[in-house]
Amino acid sequence: MKKNRILLMMLVITTLFTSACQTSAATSPLGVSPAFSSTDEQVEYASFFDSATIHQVSVTIDTLDYQAILADPEAEEFYPATITLDGVEVDDVGFRTKGNSTLRSVANSTSDRYSFKINASEYVDKQKVAGLDEFVLNNMYADASYLREYLSYELMSSLGMDVPMASFVNVSINNEHVGFYLLVESVDDSFIKRVFGDNDGNLYRQDQGSSLAVDETETYPSSSQKNGDDQTKADLHLLTTTLQAIESGDKGAIEDVLDVESALYYMATNFMLSNYDSYNSRMQQNYYLYNHQGVFYVIPWDFNMSFGGFPEQVNGELNVDMPISGTNLSDFPLIEKLLSIEEYKTRYYEILKEYAQELEGIEEHITELADWIRPYVKEDPTKFTTIEDFEAAIIYQENEVVQVRPQGNREPKNRDTPPTPPQDGQAPMDNQPGLSGKGPNQPRGDMSMGSGRSLINVIRETIDAVKEQVVN
């Protein structure tokens, strides 16, 4: 990590801190925001994320409406609610559950600890909460460390990538403390204006199956358009056909339609952070494309399964030239085509080395962050894991048993036996215990989706791979 972040000293956490964690905002012991130090005064909500504070989010919703949400969480239907953020109250805000496999997992468990989406303008046009038109409250499902997503966005930001801002929050619903969550800025109007200065272009959310292969029907059903007047997806079709036209390392016109730098950073990020609930996996999802003045930019999204949290069976060694968890590079045209061009491959290697250098000092920083949030994790009444799992996830595990790990970016030991992916677009769920195997409100009685892996172990693996295959 950057030197100034490594050298920052922790303040002593007093005995009063634990009781305060449920009732009032608390300041980071690092003295500055551990992430997202924006200096753009025009961004209305920058101070919210720069305040180095664990915020308080209170939701007040009609009892019958909340019961309806809990009765059918997978409907993801908005209901009106009042949101109070650090004492500032906003009425008539849209409130609903969110998620995909994690939502299903919680819905099929005894827990009511869902992730939520808040849309400030669902019922009142142009209304905002803390300057945000939309944000999500992520429930830390399958993350014993509570740090995967926060740390991922922090690292990307430190490398100059344009990514959503995030902040830890304590959440209560109808005066009941629900838990310790992560508030993440949605990729929506506020984000687009902050990054690009306008939100006039087409914005696409890339859902499962968004390979960027050419769709001859030009419908691209996996690409959900969230913004923009032109609904034909002609710009998306131009991107995929231009990408397909790359032959024998000749980049052709790709730079006319794609910001290659953002794409290379995204590809490298998924490899370095072991984030395979993404384009780099057989799922090919969880990213955005924004068309700014005719050029598409790749926007990272959804890193709660980073640092080895998204599982497939281990078989082989990490391979920087195949940064995927699929069996065929040809199934990933964005990666295959760009890395076929020597100029882009060289730049990709440079980004990997940037990441490796940034990650070299991260273990001390993880300790600092863990010390900061530990009182809140202990007091979290609905956590999916145990405090013992939290402690194990943030230290190096000498004899860690790796039961789950992304497949395909490792060279198969038996090249005649390809890996068998999970069925029906689902992440593997069975026989994947966490470090202790149990938690107070743990779905299925285990911490599935690889939550038991140590962050430090995963980080050391990727650093070693880059050193061996790129640096040396």
Treating both helix axes as pointing N-terminal to C-terminal, what angle do 342-360 and 260-272 enclose, rounded to 10 degrees? 50
* In the chain, domain spans: 1-9+20-472
d(C-alpha 349, C-alpha 53), whole Å:
36
E strand segments, 186-321:
203-206, 223-227, 287-292, 295-300, 317-318
Neighbours of 352 (CB within 10 A): 26
What are the tens digits of pLDDT across the range 316-363? 579 999 999 877 899 999 999 999 999 999 999 999 999 999 999 899
What are the tens digits of pLDDT across the range 158-176? 999 999 999 999 999 999 9
Q: What is the pTM of this model?
A: 0.84
Which residue has better confidence, 459 or 51?
459
What are the tens digits of pLDDT across the range 90-144? 999 999 999 988 999 999 999 999 999 999 999 999 999 988 999 999 999 999 9
Contact 436, 106 (CB under 8 A): no
Question: What is the amino acid identity at position 264?
Answer: L
Contact 443, 111 (CB under 8 A): yes
The two tokens of residue 255 are 């730079």
d(C-alpha 395, C-alpha 383), whole Å:
20
Q: Where does the pLDDT of residue 49 fall: very low under 50, low under 70, confident under 90, or very high at 90 and above?
A: confident
Mean residue pLDDT of the chain comes to 84
d(C-alpha 237, C-alpha 213), whole Å:
9
E strand segments, 278-344:
287-292, 295-300, 317-318
Judged by average pLDDT, the poorest of 209-213, 309-313, 317-321, 397-401 is 309-313
Question: What is the amino acid identity at position 266?
Answer: Y
Residue 227 pLDDT greater than 80, yes or no: yes
Contact 165, 380 (CB under 8 A): no
What are the tens digits of pLDDT across the range 317-328? 799 999 998 778
Which residue has better confidence, 404 or 63?
63
Q: What is the pLDDT of residue 302?
A: 96
